[in-house]
Amino acid sequence: MMQTKDRIIDFMISHIKKGDCLKTIHRTYCSEAGIEKSTVYEYFENEHTI
């Protein structure tokens, strides 16, 4: 089973390849995954470190 950090990275990569904006991707991921933004920041300092 994929760890949360790996799921975040895979999601971000797939959307970056599509040309989506980082801030939009971040909000979309949190919404689709049903997690809080703070959960992402437990693993990464900011959107750019992902």
The pLDDT assigned to 2 comes to 67
Is 50 among the domain residues? no
Is 27 among the domain residues? yes
Residue with more model confidence, 43 or 48: 43
Q: Give the residue carrying structure tokens 């980082």.
A: 22
What torsion, rounded to 10 degrees, do the Cα atoms 18, 26, 39, 8 define?
A: 0
Is 36 among the domain residues? yes
Whether 45 has a pLDDT exceeding 80, the answer reads: yes
What pLDDT digit, counting tens, does each position of 1-41 carry? 568 888 888 888 888 888 877 777 767 777 777 777 788 88
In the chain, how many domains are there? 1
Is 48 among the domain residues? no
Parent domain of 34? 4-43
